[in-house]
Amino acid sequence: MTQVQKGVVEPPGMILPGATLGVLGGGQLGRMFALAARVMGYGVVVLDPDPMSPAGQVADAHLRAPYTDAVALMRMGELCRAVTTEFENVPAKSLEVLAQRTYVAPAPRIVQLAQDRLHEKACADEFGCDTAPFANIEDEGGLVHAWAQLSGPALLKTRRMGYDGKGQVRVDDLDELVSAHTALGRVPCLLERLLPLEREFSVLLARNALGETAFYPLAENLHRQGILDMSIVPARLPDAVAETARHMAQRIAEGLDYVGVLAVEFFLLRDGRVVFNEMAPRPHNSGHYTLDACVTDQFEQQVRALCGLPLGDTRLLSPVVMVNLLGEVWAQGPRWDRLLRHAGVKLHLYGKAEPRPGRKMGHYNCLAPTLEAALALAGTTRAELGIG
């Protein structure tokens, strides 16, 4: 029996198929969670204000209301044995309200922490992870002091609501810093020193309420204009680098008593150091390769962790390259016939009606016997779709 302690519903033990799960957020991550949950025999309720939300299209029930709507939150709490979130920028207060009625994972305090880059960096420091040198900027008065601390080149990043390259500007001198801060709305920011990068990669793990942890193979990530372009698995990294990153990610997960799927992004510097970049308290774009290339994908794992079940096998079954499909592909009409003639390609579209430049509309996974062959297949198919 679920018990309430200090106003928060504690982990209820195993939640078995037949129960109903909830997800705040109706985007593609919520959609893939809902599909995984329904395949496993769970009901799914989605709370999202968009009447055409991708997750709402496949859920048993779609509560079309703002995330702060008291009635909708009460209804979700009544219907669902457990609730998770598909992105970290849902109001933490809404998760706190839900946590008084049903089990919520990740915990609201963790989601709130991940919403602010300053708190996120402080968390990484606390758990022994190296970070890029940074300075906090609360307002215009902090610009000169921050520049004196770091100098250039550097990245100015908004502390909140930044993703896919949004909310960050490269600056090379104090004048550029002032201009960038104005362009970003003079909101609280971090100034972060640019580092000499060798690779960007991510660690994806899952942890349940019993403290069991499962790691996925690391993904090497390539970005274009701040948006993830491709993930290459297995990552082309030295074993010692991979082990260091896994240890860092595990310290964060254990230190936070994390429950759910967690992605931690890292930089490998040219001098061999491993540096924490950011974390996402949810499944991650760089983990979409798991849908076709692993025994248990990240969304089934999210269901398992939320429901207190034993974690699934994370073995890699095939080398794989994940390619993001952005709205630009729709400009001339996507040639799915060209893509799907390749037997090693697995296509995933997200059910979004309106393609826009930079909007993630889907992805596909290229599977092959070797990583070299998977990379070659990714190159061929990108050219056929007109992806630069």
**Mean pLDDT (10-residue bins), the chain, 388 residues:** 52 92 97 98 98 96 97 97 93 95 96 92 92 89 88 87 73 90 91 93 97 97 94 97 97 96 97 95 97 98 97 98 96 92 98 93 98 98 92
pLDDT value, residue 164: 59
What is the b/e burial string over 329-352, where b = at least 16 CB atoms within 10 angstroms of the residue's CB? bbeeebeeeebeebebbbebebbb
Alpha helices in 184-287 (DSSP H): 239-255
pLDDT value, residue 353: 87
pLDDT value, residue 332: 82
Q: Which of 167, 145, 146 minimizes the C-alpha distance to 158?
A: 167
> What would the pLDDT profile of 22-67 be if each residue is shown by its tens digit?
999 999 999 999 999 999 999 999 999 999 999 999 999 999 999 9
How many C-beta atoms lie closer than 10 Å to residue 284's C-beta?
25
Cβ atoms 146, 192 nearer than 8 A: no
**Cα 290 from Cα 206, distance rounded (Å):** 13
Q: Which of 249, 275, 274, 271 minimizes the C-alpha distance to 262?
A: 249
**Cα 213 from Cα 364, distance rounded (Å):** 27
**Cα 89 from Cα 71, distance rounded (Å):** 20
> What would the pLDDT profile of 223-276 be if each residue is shown by its tens digit?
998 899 999 999 999 999 999 999 999 999 999 999 999 999 999 999 999 999
pLDDT value, residue 7: 56
Residue 247: exposed, middle, or buried by beta-carbon count in 10 A (0-12, 13-18, 19+)? middle
List the domains of the chain with CATH numbers.
Answer: 4-104 (3.40.50.20), 133-193 (3.30.1490.20), 197-385 (3.30.470.20)
CA angle 373, 350, 56 (to 5 degrees): 150
Q: Which amino acid type is present at position 111?
A: V
251 alpha carbon, distance to own chain's centre: 18
